[in-house]
Structure 1
Amino acid sequence: MSDLAAHPNELAALEDRLRQDLSWLELPAKSWVPKREVEGNPVLDVVIIGGGMAGLVASGMLKRLGVANHLVVDKATAGQEGPWVTFARMRTLRSPKQLTGPAMGLPALTFRAYYEALFGREAWALLDRAPREIWMDYLIWYRKVLELPVRNGVSVERILPRSDGMLDLDIKEDGRAKRLVARHVVLATGRDGLGGPYVPPFANTVDRKFWAHTADDINFSSLCGKRVGVIGAGASAMDNAATALEAGAARLDMFVRRKELPRINKFTGIGSQGVVHGFAGLPDEWKWRFLDYAMTEQTPPPRPSVLRVSSFDQAHLHLESPIEELQEEGDHLILTTPKGRYELDFLIFATGFKIDLGNRCELAAFEPSIRLWRDRFPTPPGMANPELEGSPDLGEAFEFLEKTPGSCPVLSKIHCFNFPATLSHGKLTGDIPAISEGADRLARGIVRSLFVEDRERHFENLQAFDTPELLGDEWAPDQEPAAIVPERI
């Protein structure tokens, strides 16, 4: 990094360029949504829960379209939002460096522009993929340069329907309970946004001190000299295994049910603007067919992540090794597979996340009314898939739909802009490649809803508008002409 730091910092010039681009495009648009109050307190047009990448680009798009009266809240401290510097443990992002991601079509807002401003074009040419810490720095800069309205240290405890068609949000900020009133709420809450980390039931048969999920805050330094097991072989499994080995684990055993590691990233192979914009238009059976196939094939871990683990002699890969039993024995665990018994001091579950609305206290008032795919779409024969069956069935702007029509109309004001939206909309809400397109779809839907709901006020404004463009002195009308008699020849 010392060579990179020698490049002159040109970030100020990049920011000037971005300001000029926005000015020439007349962005952001002027604020146009009529203000509202409840009992003397201002109403927010939109509250976005989550200040990670998805929340920031959603905020940027709303601001761009003139919805200035919105707020982003995140429970993390500033600079700790999302997974990048918390439980993400890869060295670099998995996405190619040139993807424009949250840039909203603005070249000066891309990661490339940011990286070259700091380190130069030669450094960009040499870069393979974005280091995750620098990606986090980029998102912090993104938030600052767009002047996005983010409040940190805010947790949303409950979202409640109001009789006036709006939403109450009970929050905690600085340890104090407060209430916000909003017309729309966006859940930009990431991979576990409608549930939480998943571990198989047998995990709970042993003391919690012996295991962790990859989303947990793991003290890897305590694993030095220990025997560590990892269940799973996806990207997060490899990243956590490598981190344990680099921390000095004496032995690392990775347990995988499959006969071999997946090798082909199917969805990447068909990535196109057709998929981005066309997936939502597929018939339901084809949406299911695409995703069920991709999930069954699984996504391979990145090659650099696998090599990072396999470079250690004390790392051992066990294929065709589902877990048959897990038990405590004194100060360690005994894990049993069809291939043998393994003594472990600590076990890491790289078993992903599960959609479970019962885990989301903030949605408890709405959970019985939220329509899931299994509520209306019969699972195709041979394609049983609990994750897809439990996915929310969403409208055009990522809004929740009612299980029973008319039972909870305000549900349409809550937008699911997180990973579980994939079955309804495609991969627009969690991954870098199409996050701007997803945020654009979300923001335009909210803008439409706000305008339609305020139509009477907008019509009144139309009638009241009286700024003349003509002053009346531009062209005097002719006086009444005398009759013109045709000349005789």
Structure 2
Amino acid sequence: MSICMPGEIPDGLDLLRQRVRQDLKWLDQPSRPWVPERSVDGQPVTDVVIVGGGMAGLTVSGYLRRYGVDNHVVLDRAPAGHEGPWATYARMVTLRSPKSLSGPCMGLPSLTFHAWYEARFGQEAWAALDKIPTGLWMEYLVWLRDVLDLPVRNDVTLRGIAFRPDGMLDLTVQSGTQMRTMVCRRLVLATGRDGLGGSHVPEVIRALPRHLWAHSADMIDFAALKGRRVVVVGAGASAMDNAAVALEAGAERVDILVRRNDLPRVNKFTGIGSMGVVQGFQGLPDGWKWRFMDCVLSAQTPPPRASVLRVSREPNAFFHLGCALLSLVPWGDGTLIETSRGAMEADFVIAATGFSVDLSQRPELAAIAPHVRFWKDRFTPTPADMPSGTLNAELRYSPDLGQGFEFLEKTPGACPSLQFVHCFCFPATLSHGKVSGDIPAISDGGDRLARHIVRSLFVEDRAIHYNNLVAFNEPELSGDEWTDSPLPIV
């Protein structure tokens, strides 16, 4: 593809920045700050803390600023420019999503990837572009953060949450070797696909010595796999992407083990991608929510065609379908793998086996873990709700969330302040639809969450706002605008 290089349009992004500011000015945004300042024990209170500075966290931050909640902060444990998966374990060449999706633009055309790309590379380059290169998507998110001046603090890790008697939250955060406590009123977990747990690794793989395997989301030294025999377990996009990187790094051979007899062919999530689903899914009865998601998850999501071809075009890549793992044991410097189709040897295993909700894997969430209500705690699907015919574990362990993505109590009254912790990551999907983790509807989800927080903060502070109303005494008229005249005498 022939494109204009950045240096050929030196003022493109500067002009776009001016356009963004003009658009916001025409909308009279951001709104002026309106939330009363608070402090406890001499320490200022932060109204909202967002954990996660990736796409989801930036979107929520942008909406909070737009709605006048300036006293918020975004914390991310990664260095600047490495937030989210795009510069780490997202090993695909391009995104799956169509380039035309508006994504985290928050309703402003000038904030879209389309606008950014044309400003940087030109209209002809946009017309020639097929899918969005992963690295450019990360650059776009960095620009989004910068142009909106969002309050992101990098290299800061959430270590713990404590509920205060006054209803606020104490957050223990670490920066470098320093620990400190932040006090906040609302906490948003915008922590990605594994936001409420971690990597799912079958026990048969986990039992191996740690140097013999990795999860597809781990930081993997692919250069060390040159000349080695690699086995990838899984059939999804991450399986193909990791297999491809291993092959491109010079692996001797890569074997892909797929338990199913065929790769999934149809992306059911695409089938529920309408705006009706985005806005209406949250309003479905519980059984229908389960029915939709069971249909999608039981079909599994196929890897992109380009990702599969990236692997299959290599002569030393081998697909093994209907090949279930039975056992893995150390064997020489590698491992001996017993499968339903026979035995094989490998030097290294990559488990592209997804993620699971498991709060025990997140020590920073220990305070909320006993109180979080999951769908399994209150809802039992009927046979009609389960087109797959099986009780889906991923759905059972989805958090049961309120209207504003807030966690709900397993035992009513046991932890009232749990409602001030919001789950804005992939596990929210069963409660809210696919609006909290992927590109297509991330602005809709971010807006929904921000509006809920704005509403709840105002309601909580209603007495202060009322007293401010009573005390408000800025005259509209000075008294010299008219003259009192006598009535005409009849």
* TM-score for the superposition, normalised by structure 2: 0.97
**1:54-73 correspondence to structure 2 within 5 Å:** 54-73=56-75
Query: Retained in 1: the 8 A contact 2:75–2:156?
Result: yes
Confirm whether residue 402 of structure 1 aligns to residue 409 of structure 2: yes
Determine the C-alpha separation between the residues in 1 that align with 2:378 and 2:4.
55
Structure 1 residue 3: Cα displacement: 4.6
Partner of 1:341: 343
Structure 1 residue 336: Cα displacement: 1.5
Partner of 1:445: 452
Structure 1 residue 481: Cα displacement: 4.2
Partner of 2:386: none
Partner of 1:392: 399
Structure 1 residue 337: Cα displacement: 1.4
Confirm whether residue 150 of structure 1 aligns to residue 152 of structure 2: yes
Partner of 2:9: 8
SS at 1:216's partner residue? coil
Confirm whether residue 186 of structure 1 aligns to residue 188 of structure 2: yes
Which residue type is aligned with residue 141 of structure 1?
Answer: W
Partner of 1:475: 482
Determine the C-alpha separation between the residues in 1 that align with 2:270 and 2:382.
25
Determine the C-alpha separation between the residues in 1 that align with 2:382 and 2:40.
48
Determine the C-alpha separation between the residues in 1 that align with 2:207 and 2:81.
37
**1:213-362 correspondence to structure 2 within 5 Å:** 213-362=215-364
Structure 1 residue 269: Cα displacement: 2.4
The gaps in structure 2 that reach 5 residues or longer are 384-388
**1:419-434 correspondence to structure 2 within 5 Å:** 419-434=426-441
SS at 1:104's partner residue? coil
* TM-score for the superposition, normalised by structure 1: 0.97
Determine the C-alpha separation between the residues in 2 that align with 1:367 and 1:438.
24
**1:17-36 correspondence to structure 2 within 5 Å:** 17-36=19-38
Determine the C-alpha separation between the residues in 2 that align with 1:370 and 1:380.
23
Structure 1 residue 254: Cα displacement: 0.5
Partner of 2:40: 38
Confirm whether residue 458 of structure 1 aligns to residue 484 of structure 2: no
Structure 1 residue corresponding to 2:420, chosen from 397, 401, 413:
413
Which residue type is aligned with residue 292 of structure 2?
Answer: F
Structure 1 residue 96: Cα displacement: 0.5
Determine the C-alpha separation between the residues in 2 that align with 1:366 and 1:185.
12
Query: Retained in 2: the 8 A contact 1:7–1:120?
Result: no
Confirm whether residue 96 of structure 1 aligns to residue 103 of structure 2: no
Determine the C-alpha separation between the residues in 2 that align with 1:480 and 1:459.
40
Query: Retained in 1: the 8 A contact 2:197–2:362?
Result: yes
Structure 1 residue 338: Cα displacement: 1.7
Partner of 2:112: 110
Determine the C-alpha separation between the residues in 2 that align with 1:235 and 1:84.
14
Deviations 1:68-116 (A, max 9, x none): 0000000111111110011110001111111110001101100011111
Deviations 1:221-242 (A, max 9, x none): 1111111100001000000000
Which residue type is aligned with residue 402 of structure 1?
Answer: E
Query: Retained in 2: the 8 A contact 1:79–1:136?
Result: yes
Confirm whether residue 79 of structure 1 aligns to residue 81 of structure 2: yes
Query: Retained in 2: the 8 A contact 1:379–1:389?
Result: no
Which residue type is aligned with residue 438 of structure 1?
Answer: G
Deviations 1:171-191 (A, max 9, x none): 111210101000000000000
Which residue type is aligned with residue 310 of structure 2?
Answer: R
Determine the C-alpha separation between the residues in 1 that align with 2:401 and 2:390.
21
Which residue type is aligned with residue 295 of structure 2?
Answer: Y
Aligned length: 483
The gaps in structure 1 that reach 5 residues or longer are 485-489
Deviations 1:243-299 (A, max 9, x none): 000011111111111111111111212311100000000000000000011000011
Query: Retained in 2: the 8 A contact 1:280–1:425?
Result: yes
| Runs of 4+ that moved beyond 6 A | none
Query: Retained in 2: the 8 A contact 1:166–1:182?
Result: yes
SS at 1:230's partner residue? strand
Determine the C-alpha separation between the residues in 1 that align with 2:446 and 2:207.
42
Determine the C-alpha separation between the residues in 2 that align with 1:7 and 1:283.
54
Structure 1 residue 477: Cα displacement: 3.1
Structure 1 residue 2: Cα displacement: 8.3
Deviations 1:204-227 (A, max 9, x none): 322111110001010001111111
Cα–Cα, structure 1 residues 272 and 3, in superposed 2: closer, same or farther, change >3 Å? closer
Which residue type is aligned with residue 7 of structure 1?
Answer: E
Query: Retained in 1: the 8 A contact 2:373–2:399?
Result: yes
Which residue type is aligned with residue 457 of structure 1?
Answer: I
Partner of 1:487: none
Determine the C-alpha separation between the residues in 2 that align with 1:7 and 1:263.
42
Determine the C-alpha separation between the residues in 2 that align with 1:163 and 1:89.
45
Structure 1 residue 357: Cα displacement: 1.1
- What RMSD in Å do the two structures reach over aligned CA positions? 1.1
Determine the C-alpha separation between the residues in 2 that align with 1:133 and 1:32.
38
SS at 1:101's partner residue? coil
Judge which range, 422-431 or 334-343, deviates more.
Answer: 334-343
Query: Retained in 1: the 8 A contact 2:2–2:125?
Result: no
Structure 1 residue 473: Cα displacement: 2.4
Query: Retained in 2: the 8 A contact 1:45–1:70?
Result: yes
Determine the C-alpha separation between the residues in 2 that align with 1:84 and 1:148.
19
Query: Retained in 2: the 8 A contact 1:48–1:186?
Result: yes
Structure 1 residue 438: Cα displacement: 0.2
Query: Retained in 1: the 8 A contact 2:3–2:124?
Result: no
